[in-house]
Amino acid sequence: MSENPQQPQQPQQPGPQPEQAPAYGSPQPGQTPYQDQPSQPYPGQPHPGQPQQGPVYGSAYGPGQYQPQPLNPSDERMWSVFAQIGPILLSFIAPLVIWLVLKDRSRFVDQEAKESLNFQITLVIVHIAAAIITTVTFGIGAIVYLVFVAAVVFMILAAVENGKGAPYRYPVNIRFIK
């Protein structure tokens, strides 16, 4: 290109093009696509049938051998406290998720999250019973809902005990999950 805009630009002459390598998986010259070719591994991968060399990435314990890391004591206390006070906002979902995710990493969190989950399932059953009682008694049975004030007190007591690293057993609990 020229820097002067009044001069006409010379068209560029096509010169010899550099030879380009065929795209990965494309047929070689003289071959039709999808001919039976020996399978080629992806770039950087070993050929099938050859032993893999070097480390296996993606797992610190080798392929297919997941070993969860144990929680340290402060994390155990933190997650068990979350399992006890999480239901105030999220009902049984908080202890269920904590139990499912961390049950293999800490026996203490496994035990306390199950205890909290069982208590929350018990509270769901009590809530259904209280609704039925309130409906049958035309609202007089609503006094049964005071049970939920005691339940919040029990959850706070459980969180305090778990924060100290001590297990807590709810006084009224149906243990569905053992």
**pLDDT of 46-79, one tens digit each?**
555 666 555 555 545 555 566 778 888 899 999 9
Tens-place pLDDT, residues 99-144: 999 999 999 999 999 999 999 999 999 999 999 999 999 988 888 8
Q: How large is the average pLDDT for residues 16-43?
A: 55
| Chain position carrying tokens 């296996």 | 56
The answer to whether the CB of 158 falls within 8 A of the CB of 66 is: no
Cα separation, 54 vs 40, in Å, equals 20
Q: How far apart are CA 115 and CA 93, in angstroms?
A: 13
> Is a pLDDT exceeding 90 seen at residue 27?
no
pLDDT higher than 70, residue 150: yes
Q: Are 74 and 62 in contact (CB under 8 A)?
A: no
Statement: residue 161 has pLDDT above 70: yes
CA distances from residue 34 to 23, 27, 43, 45, 137 in whole angstroms, order as listed: 14, 8, 19, 22, 77
Look up residue 7 and give its two tokens: 């001069």
**pLDDT surpassing 70 at residue 24:** no
